[in-house]
Structure 1
């Protein structure tokens, strides 16, 4: 086993194709295939399932990849410390629901590992895609919430995909509304008071059930609902239509409009916001730094 073979393994997993990985690595396809085959034989695993559409990582391949990334990271650290060799470009991907603190933490990681070249990805996306991204290895970490109404379904789905949920904090439900909203002066807001106003929710695609909803309230709970795909559109509608959405109550005025405020929602329930990752996978230093940055912005020891 060599570091070069491990780098080849990671490249194939990222490209999803022997051909594309060979082009990225500037080697021939037969040479790359032979290197991967020899590594699989030495480790006694089948890392990829080949088809005419490319390659798919197996479950034992995911475990092998986690160790490969860890060893490559350690080699980078050693080369950086002793000044020998060329470091690999930093790579990190996280998929999350639409939380401003997730963006703040991502900014911290990019600044911490600033370099001439890097490839960082932040995906604010649908709940189902977050689970798919982490399960498939496209993202190293995911960020979402569990609550009493969705926990049984999502926890089962996480176990099925060999993912684990690690809680960061528990948030009481809040509403995001405009500073000019008729209810803005209220210390707490009730559901009955919100019924005349549009309820803004993030659209969840084919899995558009309340189990995958990013908001604590089911869409059936309110008479007026509008579905959106991104945070900027949602906040524009909060301001323009006196709409509201339900979330953790944590808002960053630098990243979001200063016209948006949070108010406690008078209802039962709570949101257990946390990270999901592959079971028994060693996190990269970028993922470790991201977790630390999240805890900093959430003031978690």
Structure 2
């Protein structure tokens, strides 16, 4: 049973004749006759009483089918009207792989607000550094948000260039320790690593021990350490214990747990160079450029 067969039945019912229905629908009379015979065979009913009269007579089952056909076609018209306009509008698709930065989340939320009347499909893949690079290299993601450390920035730029990727700087950040409000070290103008060593260290798990690929850009031989994969898990651990994490110090109030704060780490001599990577062979679409502009604005506001 097809919608086209239902159209034939409804038109024959309106015209009272297969010949007239064929003319109105710009098809041949044999085509309609065959479609109706096939429908009768599928449903195991007779739709018309076929006699020598000029006007077709619907059987009781045929009349019931005609009502259903008209209802069905009304629904088809509503569906087509509902989605026809959308089918002509641009469908936006933005795929971003990123380390665990709240400014990226804020940019995604603002992007949704800007395009709230558009059709879109957004992906934000918070992942490990090497996976982010692989996502952009294999074109699974258009953009990758990562951080380098200034001491190995030259090496990492060369590494990325060898994969046909380019790194574009957003901002440089001084290392901070993320801690909970009420932590014994809260309120200090700066802390030393020796002071932090008394507390559990929480970091993101990576597939490599290379310092160049670690999100925290440091390997601490802490007596107590916890490795996690998700930002929510890390924040929950930090906000409910005296543990800490090393990062940029960027806190976006609109999307960050209000119990989280940070303090500069005095004896870490490097800087986080936060930026975005893309393939040199791919031109970013306008929505992707807008997304990067938002990320840049929020970084500079911090």
Is TM more than 0.5 here? yes
Q: Which moved more, 1:211-220 or 1:143-152?
A: 143-152
Tell me the TM-score normalised to structure 1 length. 0.67
Deviation at 1:151, TM superposition (A): 3.0
Unaligned segments of structure 2, at least 5 residues: 1-84
Inter-partner Cα distance in structure 2 for 1:84 and 1:176: 45
Tell me the SS of whatever aligns to 1:159. helix
Tell me the SS of whatever aligns to 1:181. coil
Note closer, same or farther for the CA distance 1:85–1:180 as it changes in structure 2 (3 Å cut). Answer: closer
Equivalent residue for 1:101?
103
Tell me the SS of whatever aligns to 1:223. coil
Inter-partner Cα distance in structure 1 for 2:134 and 2:287: 20
Note closer, same or farther for the CA distance 1:214–1:84 as it changes in structure 2 (3 Å cut). Answer: closer
Instruction: For residues 146-191 of structure 1, give each alpha carbon's deviation from its aligned partner in whole angstroms, at most 9, with x where no partner exists.
Output: 1145435533431221000011111111111011111112111110
Instruction: For residues 118-164 of structure 1, give each alpha carbon's deviation from its aligned partner in whole angstroms, at most 9, with x where no partner exists.
Output: 21101111001110111111111111111145435533431221000
Inter-partner Cα distance in structure 2 for 1:185 and 1:87: 52
Deviation at 1:84, TM superposition (A): 11
Equivalent residue for 2:141?
139
Deviation at 1:106, TM superposition (A): 1.3
Aligned residue pairs, count: 216
Note closer, same or farther for the CA distance 1:89–1:188 as it changes in structure 2 (3 Å cut). Answer: same
Equivalent residue for 1:169?
171
Inter-partner Cα distance in structure 1 for 2:153 and 2:299: 22
Correspondences of 1:281-296 after superposition (within 5 Å): 281-296=282-297
Matched, 1:191 2:197: no
Matched, 1:262 2:262: yes
Unaligned segments of structure 1, at least 5 residues: 1-82
2:86–2:119 CA contact under 8 A, matched in 1:
no
1:187–1:264 CA contact under 8 A, matched in 2:
yes
Greater Cα radius of gyration, structure 1 or 2: 2
Deviation at 1:107, TM superposition (A): 1.3
Tell me the SS of whatever aligns to 2:237. helix
Equivalent residue for 1:298?
299
Inter-partner Cα distance in structure 2 for 1:175 and 1:216: 13
Runs (4+) of structure 1 exceeding 4 A deviation are: none
Tell me the SS of whatever aligns to 2:119. coil
Inter-partner Cα distance in structure 2 for 1:94 and 1:299: 20
Inter-partner Cα distance in structure 2 for 1:183 and 1:130: 33
1:210–1:219 CA contact under 8 A, matched in 2:
no
Which residue of 110, 113, 117 corresponds with 1:111?
Answer: 113
Inter-partner Cα distance in structure 1 for 2:224 and 2:285: 44
Instruction: For residues 83-135 of structure 1, give each alpha carbon's deviation from its aligned partner in whole angstroms, at most 9, with x where no partner exists.
Output: 99813311011111000001111111122122353211011110011101111
Equivalent residue for 2:219?
218
Deviation at 1:219, TM superposition (A): 3.4
2:178–2:249 CA contact under 8 A, matched in 1:
yes
Tell me the TM-score normalised to structure 2 length. 0.67
CA RMSD of aligned residues (A): 2.0
2:89–2:118 CA contact under 8 A, matched in 1:
no
